[in-house]
Amino acid sequence: SSLSDNQRYGGQADGQGEYSPGVQKPVKAALVALVRNEELYGLRKAMRELEDRWNHKYNYPYIFLNDKPFSEKFKQGVQDMTKARIEFGTLEPESWGYPAWIDQNKAREERETATYIKGRSESYRFMCRFQSGFIHRHPLLSDLEFYWRIEPDVHYYCDIDYDPFVYMKQNGLKYGWNIAPTEYEPTVRTLWNATETFMQKHPELIPSDNTLRWVRDGNGKYTKCHFWSNFEIVDLSFYRSKEYQLFFEHLDQAGGFFYERWGDAPVHSLAVAMFLSKKQVHYFDDIGYYHPAMSHCPAGSKERGKCVCDPQEGWAHGFQCAKLWRSI
């Protein structure tokens, strides 16, 4: 009846007490975004939704990072959205820009001739390299066990009545995702080749229960399957591991962040495929989510009263790479 529905959805979440702001949480975790001052209002919208849907009960802190200092307007503007703590950081110089070995003329030529999305942007490439190799090593994240990556202008469609960080920790999960598209070929022309070279150099780092069959088809070709990393919940010990770090350094040496436009999504995903087993990776099917251009809306009846989206329009569940993941 509607009365029991009201009781079910109106009161406290079942079995998950509240965590007050400032009080020690069961998991050291935070909501983390790299973001620009100009994106204040897009970020406020995303925070408002995440607070209303989830974090007002859990009060996990936020960490915002920027290649430039945050303005006072930005700091106040985001703090107005939450009673949780917010930390603001700028980036270490070596984590943003060109490493010494990159041929900047070659990088410029690629930008001037690229026709793929964001192909002409230099800062976008700095961003992808930062999110691939440096975010998890930022000093403000040093005592975190998990992060949940957020972005401006995203939507959270559903109430989330449990703590995904606790869920991941209790179940030994390292990587959580909810949209898995196929990457644009022109942005990753040699990424698979560089990954194969890495695996030949370091076979000892690849466990036998890996998930490479998701990114490598029956003919040894790259499927270009990746998790869309604008939403990801990750045990940071995965990115801080020796094998992840070696993989990033190998890719960084190869130069594809600049000579192509390798994204942090395919980089993170190739690392998942090489280093993690299927049972260490979780599909957050119940977290309804939209990022400009794609969305995931849960289809299950238990989400019906908790989500505002139309499951018919949350098409990402049917993506080829999402289906392939579920089938491997």
Residues that bind ligand GDP (CB under 6 A): 33-36, 39, 66-67, 123, 127, 151-152, 230
> Token pair of 319, please?
């993506």
- The span from the CA of 228 to the CA of 37, in Å, is 24
Least distance to Mn ion, CB of residue 152, Å: 7
Least distance to Mn ion, CB of residue 154, Å: 7
- The span from the CA of 138 to the CA of 89, in Å, is 9
What are the C-alpha distances in Å from 88 to residues 64, 70, 109? 5, 7, 35
| Whether 232 is catalytic | yes
> Token pair of 243, please?
């094998």
Count of all residues that appear for the chain in the document: 328
Is residue 61 within 8 A of residue 141, CB to CB? The reply is no
Selected range binding Mn ion among 19-27, 143-151, 239-247, 320-328, rule: CB under 5 A? 143-151
Position among 67, 145, 151, 243 found at the interface with Mn ion (CB under 5 A) = 151
Least distance to ligand GDP, CB of residue 238, Å: 20
What are the C-alpha distances in Å from 327 to residues 1, 129, 246? 37, 31, 29
* 84 interface partner picked from ligand GDP, Mn ion, none, CB below 5 to 8 A per type: none
Beta carbon nearer to ligand GDP, 67 or 161: 67
Beta carbon nearer to Mn ion, 179 or 321: 179
> Token pair of 15, please?
């079995």
- The span from the CA of 227 to the CA of 236, in Å, is 16
Least distance to Mn ion, CB of residue 292, Å: 7
Please pick, among 51, 110, 183, 232, the residue that the annotation labels catalytic: 232
* 34 interface partner picked from ligand GDP, Mn ion, none, CB below 5 to 8 A per type: ligand GDP
x/- binding map, residues 227-246, to Mn ion, per CB under 5 A?
---x----------------
Least distance to Mn ion, CB of residue 229, Å: 10
Least distance to ligand GDP, CB of residue 261, Å: 10
Nearest residue to Mn ion, scored by beta-carbon proximity: 151
Beta carbon nearer to Mn ion, 183 or 303: 183
Beta carbon nearer to ligand GDP, 212 or 294: 294
Question: Does 39 interact with Mn ion (rule: CB under 5 A)?
Answer: no
- The span from the CA of 20 to the CA of 3, in Å, is 29
Beta carbon nearer to Mn ion, 49 or 303: 49
State which H helix or E strand residue 232 sits in. strand 232-235
Neighbouring-strand partners of residue 281:
175
- The span from the CA of 247 to the CA of 250, in Å, is 5
> Token pair of 1, please?
């009846």
* 236 interface partner picked from Mn ion, ligand GDP, none, CB below 5 to 8 A per type: none
DSSP 3-state of 295: strand
Pairing verdict, β 155-156 and 289-291:
antiparallel
Beta carbon nearer to Mn ion, 43 or 276: 43
> Token pair of 88, please?
């603001």
Q: Which residues bind Mn ion (CB under 5 A)?
A: 151, 230
Residues forming the active site: 232
